[in-house]
Structure 1
Amino acid sequence: MAWVAGDRLQGGKYTIERELGRGRFGITYLVKNSKSDRLVIKTLNDELLRSFTQQERERLETMFGQEALKLQKCKHKHIVQVVEVFKEGEHWCLVMEYVDGVSLADLRPPILSEQEALGYIKQIGEALIVVHQNGLIHRDVHPGNILLGNRERQSEAVLIDFDLALDFDHILTTSRTKETSDGFTPPELYAKGTIARAYSDIYSLAATLYKLLTGITPVNAVKRKVDGEHLVSPKEFNPQISDRTNQAILTGMKLDPKERSQSMPEWLDSLGLTGETRQPESAGVPNTNLNQEKKINWTAIAAIGTLLSGIAALIVIFKPSPPTSPPSLSPGPSSTKTP
């Protein structure tokens, strides 16, 4: 059942303050713990569960619990932190930190400078790398799910509202249309029986960057794919966007997933955001450039040593001789002492 203000969970450990939001799969509540700290609890939508068979309900609950435990392992400062996972009655509950901040969807003015926008995209992109490494896909990245929270006296982007167990939809025959975020959802997530991959989050993050730099929500992926509607280049709306960023956005929003970057590090690198975090060279493979550089350095050192030796020899040759004794009065060549 849905909870209301005043309901207590886990024997009074958490008290419901109010409902924050409701989707097809989940309901999110603002709660207080026994120390009066504000937290967020997410659980499955009871109305949804009632529409399934008992077997489907059990399957969905299991998937939600499994993904909640995976999310708990995603430790990153730009991911909303999971406090704990527990079961209240039949329902799995995910307890998360409460991030009190404005979302990127509510920024005024709505258009950011390229430098500022790329800063937030880098933060969320690095967060998604951790998510993907833990076997999860966010599936609903858009400006409304990125909050700017004040941490360490800085405004930092925090990724929230993971669509846990959304892949349960591939078991059913229903459409995903109700769960999509218009303009930010990739075309493959509209199709029945499709499981999201890393390139799905790349599409959504590229669309988010599009919105941050233009103030315009990109055209719906289905309209592009089915109706042939054209995706206007973001640079046409904002000529100040660099060619590199413009191209990275367009590549990230390719309709065919195979034409996008296949990993988040790859896409971030196309934006010039991960140069310092590239993979080290494979062990056992010599770095010819480094070896050449070392060779040049040793050659230079040897050359300097030779030069110094030559200078020393010249000093010896041209060193003034000490005074000599008066020349002999006897006939014959004069003698000269070697210094």
Structure 2
Amino acid sequence: MAWVAGDRLQGGKYTIERELGRGRFGITYLVKNSNSDRLVVKTLNDDLLRPLTQQERERLETMYLQEALKLQKCKHKHIVQVTEVFKEGEHSCLVMEYVDGDSLADLRPPILSEADALRYIQQIGEALIVVHQNELIHRDVHPGNILLRNREGQLEAVLIDFGLALDFDHILTTSRTKETSDGFTPPELYTKRTIARAYSDIYSLAATLYKLLTGRTPVNAVKRKVDGEHLVSPKEFNPQISDRVNGAILTGMKLDHKERSQSMREWLDSLGLSGETPQPVSTVLPNPNPNREKKINWTLVIAAIAAIGALLSGIAALIPILKQSPSPSPSSLSPSPSSTKTP
């Protein structure tokens, strides 16, 4: 059954505000908790569950919960965070943070500069590295599933709407065409012959970068593979794109997954994006320990005093010797070779 505004879950812990959206697999709701914080609850769609046998339904529920628990372990500032997993009657539910912002699909104008596009791509790419380390694949990366959140006046990308348990389609069908995003889904996700891996998310993220830099959705992977349609180089639409970025996009969107980068880190490196997202660098670096400078200065002062003291002691020791020495003769005033040496 679908919940409506006012319905209460978990004994009143969460109250439904409204439905945010639904797909073949899941329904997403905006809720408030007992502290009036807004959150998102996602559950499996009854329309999917209804025709299944009890055994199939239990298997899908198990897959969904297993992947939900993996997603809960994916802690990264650019991944929507899962805060709780629970059962409401026969429904498995995920509670996630609510990100209030537009998606990259809503950009106006639709084309970003290369620097801005790469900043968002790196944020999502780094997030996907964490996802892949937790043995998950997003399966549905595209501009509509990347929200822009305002954090301290700066926009940052957040990855949402993971395709949990999409591999369940393998049990029932030979294709996943109902769960694909035209232009962003790699060819292997249209059939059951190839299991999704990191290279699948790489294709989708490369296609997303293509869209951000050109304003155009790339040609569907099936049309490329079956009908022989040509993938136009993004640089042909936008000559401002660098050769390096253009090449990385085309490599990331190779139809044969073996010809793509095999890890997200490798593909980000091909874009020149190493390590975490770079932050603005100040020309004057702050002193990480303001007291350290004072300690260094006092040390120098003490060392200087000690050196002066040693010098004065040496002079004092020479005074009695100088008093006992006879007065120099006029000839001794002329410098000798040995007088220039340091004693």
Q: TM-score range by the shorter chain?
A: 0.7 to 0.9
The residue number in structure 2 matching 1:318 is none
Query: Residue 149 of structure 1 aligns to a residue in which SS?
Result: strand
Query: Residue 181 of structure 1 aligns to a residue in which SS?
Result: coil
The amino acid across from 2:78 in the alignment is H
The residue number in structure 2 matching 1:238 is 238
Following superposition, which runs of at least 4 residues in structure 1 exceed 4 angstroms of deviation? 323-327
Q: Does 1:191 align with 2:168?
A: no
Give the superposition deviation at 1:337. 7.5
Structure 1: which 5+ runs fail to align? 278-322, 328-335
The residue number in structure 2 matching 1:285 is none
The residue number in structure 2 matching 1:267 is 267
Q: Deviations over 1:79-110 (max 9, x none)?
A: 00111111111111000011000000000000
8 Å CA contact 2:150, 2:156 repeated in 1 = yes
The residue number in structure 2 matching 1:200 is 200
Q: Deviations over 1:122-170 (max 9, x none)?
A: 0000000000001100000000000001123321100000011111112
The residue number in structure 2 matching 1:223 is 223
Q: Does 1:98 align with 2:98?
A: yes
> How far apart are the structure 2 equivalents of 1:181 and 1:227?
18
Query: Residue 267 of structure 2 aligns to a residue in which SS?
Result: helix
Structure 2: which 5+ runs fail to align? 278-326
The amino acid across from 2:12 in the alignment is G
Moved more, 217-226 or 89-98: 89-98
- Correspondences of 1:161-172 after superposition (within 5 Å): 161-172=161-172
The amino acid across from 2:226 in the alignment is V
8 Å CA contact 2:126, 2:276 repeated in 1 = no
Q: Deviations over 1:235-257 (max 9, x none)?
A: 00000000000000000000000
8 Å CA contact 1:169, 1:193 repeated in 2 = no
> How far apart are the structure 1 equivalents of 2:236 and 2:153?
36
Counting aligned pairs with the same residue, the percent is 88
Query: Residue 40 of structure 1 aligns to a residue in which SS?
Result: strand
Q: Does 1:11 align with 2:11?
A: yes
8 Å CA contact 2:202, 2:264 repeated in 1 = yes
8 Å CA contact 1:324, 1:337 repeated in 2 = no
Call closer, same or farther: CA 1:174–1:11 in 2, change over 3 Å: farther
Give the superposition deviation at 1:276. 7.0
Moved more, 143-152 or 198-207: 143-152
Output the TM-score relative to the length of structure 1. 0.82
Q: Deviations over 1:191-210 (max 9, x none)?
A: 12432100000000000000
Call closer, same or farther: CA 1:105–1:337 in 2, change over 3 Å: closer
Output the TM-score relative to the length of structure 2. 0.81
The amino acid across from 2:167 in the alignment is D
Call closer, same or farther: CA 1:93–1:276 in 2, change over 3 Å: closer
The residue number in structure 1 matching 2:124 is 124
Give the superposition deviation at 1:68. 0.5
> How far apart are the structure 2 equivalents of 1:173 and 1:188?
14
The residue number in structure 2 matching 1:29 is 29
Moved more, 116-125 or 85-94: 85-94
Please tell me the root mean square deviation across aligned C-alpha atoms, in Å: 1.9
The residue number in structure 1 matching 2:155 is 155
> How far apart are the structure 1 equivalents of 2:139 and 2:328?
97
The residue number in structure 1 matching 2:62 is 62
- Correspondences of 1:267-306 after superposition (within 5 Å): 267-274=267-274
Query: In the comparison of the two structures, how many residue pairs are matched?
Result: 288
8 Å CA contact 1:140, 1:162 repeated in 2 = yes
